[in-house]
Chain A
Amino acid sequence: MNGHGIAAIYRFEMARWKRTLWQSLITPVITTALYFVVFGSALGSRMSTMDGVSFAAFIVPGLTLLSVFMQSIFNASFGIYFPKFTGTIYELLSAPISSFEAVLAYVGAAVTKSVILALVTIATATIFVPVHINHPIAMILFLVGISAGFCLFGFAIGVWAQNFEQLQIIPMLIITPLTFLGGAFYSVKALHDPFRTITLFNPIVHVISGFRWSFYSVADVPVWSSVLVTLAIIAGCMAVIAWMFRTGYRLKQ
């Protein structure tokens, strides 16, 4: 195990994050806080409760995850794409570090950033809306698991991408719509069939539902389903990344 190598990449990635703190932490927190202000404080009082939870509080887990999805993907994809773009990837490829160790370091740093972002976002939300966390340990476990899954997804995108446009396409065109249609602002139970059934094929519904359950003990799908989908995202992305490293896909000639 190359512990010094893992630590070096982790420190390097965290240093990069600190250099861009406005972009990677403060901006998404302010953006999400504006959602809380507009949809929660301003409009929330005019809306009915969702599953017995005030609308303002109901949207906090979903909006927090929307921010986590985006930053997880951007941070992890940029972390591996930028060395490919600048050519400094040669150093990683020639280092005595296994692909597992490299992924652990890059994704570990990206998960750290996402968890910090989520906690700061939730803390900010408490200023505007009443937030309760009924299952704090489950909330942390869901947060770490979801962050890990989407950071791994972002890492795979970073290896796959051949230009900056490709880096943006999947989070903007796929993840954002799936999140908006995945119960970030509403309970899936409120939908009529066939839309409700179709929506349940969206994995993000399960992820948001589990995370929201850890706050208010209300869920659109069983908690075990949320756990399974989260683990499936992690396992699926790990399998893709393992294949990428084994074959050298878009990493080696």
Chain B
Amino acid sequence: MSDPILSIRGLRKTYGTGVDALKSVDLDIRRGEIFALLGPNGAGKTTLINIVCGIVTPSSGEVLVDGRNWQSNYRYARERIGLVPQELTTEAFESVWNTVSFSRGLFGRPRNNAYIEDILKRLSLFDKCNSEMRFLSGGMKRRAMIAKALSHEPAILFLDEPTAGVDVELRRDMWDLVRKLRADGTTIILTTHYIEEAEEMADRVGVISKGELIAVDEKHDLMAKMGKKTLDIVLAEPLASVPPELSEWNVELGDNGHQLTYQFDSHAERTGIASLMRRLSDLGITYKDLSTHQSSLEEIFVELVHGGSK
């Protein structure tokens, strides 16, 4: 990969409690992509983000932002990064306008009311710009935090669980916003529990478990490589057991003998479907329905995270 906007090398973090939150993570983020980092609770997603943003000190390892070390060039690195944290932590008594303006100044940018107004309008918050943060709903607070993170026009935006606790309509609005930001050239790294979210938006997906990055790939490639396709054959008459003549297809009998399931690689030259159907015919096994099923990203995620323990 040429010219990554963010390079993470050998990043480790062991907390004072002895917990190994990250175990030598290597990751490159491409300029302008949407990267989804998936992982169960406690996998190390937030620790990874917090180290890159300067909130947590790593035990070892290095982060390069646009090719520059993020600690020795902390001003350069941090000016380019915006963070929307997982928790809704806001200054309760500040107005939306003031808190967003504060963030812009804090990150070294001169006052630009037109830009703040534009962000608030894009996030449907402009009519609340004089409201104190404490009077906003959870969804509005989340949008205000996104506005704060965008206030200094960052090239890289971290969204840590951006749609946690927001309703379906707002989630769709946020997805649209993220796509628009990407279209404007912002690189987006998001963590999420909603696999659907990653499936909907991400260009690439990384799966982190117990502090280790166990998979990183293009979303479609990951789904193609890891995703399994199954053929379900609903039988006209139930079978007591799988006939030995079908052993080479490794089919499974289910639904009290009413269904045969065959797992195949849809990208292989020979899927084995045609020969299976011929063998069923030869054996006089009749069926009344056929259907295929593709693994979702969620099923792949579960397989990756829990596969080893099964």
Contacts and interface: CB of A to CB of B under 8 A. Distances in A.
Contacts of A7: 105
Majority secondary structure, A binding face: helix
Contact of A91 (B87, B108, B148): B148
Given A5-B106, A96-B74, A248-B57, A90 B83 contact: yes
Contact of A19 (B15, B90, B93, B107): B93
A5 B57 contact: no
Interface in A112-171: none
Q: How large is the interface on A (under 10, 10 to 19, 20 to 34, 35 or more residues)?
A: 20 to 34
A5 B108 contact: yes
Contact of A86 (B15, B91, B106, B108): B91
B75 interface: yes
Contact of A12 (B15, B55, B85, B102): B102
Interface string B80-107: 0101010101111110001001111111
B79 interface: yes
B78 interface: yes
A95 B78 contact: yes
A15 B93 CA distance: 10
Given A248-B57, A252-B56, A253-B56, A94 B81 contact: yes
Nearest to B49: A94
Contacts of B53: 90, 93-94
A4 B105 contact: yes
Contacts of B180: none
Contacts of B93: 16, 19
Interface in B34-64: 50, 53-57
Nearest to A5: B106
Contacts of A94: 53-55, 78, 81, 83
Interface in B98-156: 98, 101-110, 148
Given A248-B57, A252-B56, A2 B89 contact: no
Interface residues of B, number: 36
A252 B108 contact: no
A7 B42 CA distance: 37
A8 interface: yes
A192 to B, nearest CB: 52
B81 A8 contact: no
B109 A252 contact: no
A104 to B, nearest CB: 14
A87 interface: yes
Contacts of B54: 93-94
A94 B156 CA distance: 13
A87 B90 CA distance: 8
B87 to A, nearest CB: 5
B26 to A, nearest CB: 22
Contact of A97 (B55, B98, B106, B148): B106
B56 A8 contact: no
B59 to A, nearest CB: 11
Contacts of A93: 53-55
Interface in A35-92: 86-88, 90-92
9 contacts: A4-B105, A4-B110, A8-B104, A90-B50, A90-B53, A93-B53, A93-B54, A94-B81, A96-B78
Interface of A: 2, 4-5, 7-9, 11-12, 15-16, 19, 86-88, 90-97, 248, 252-253
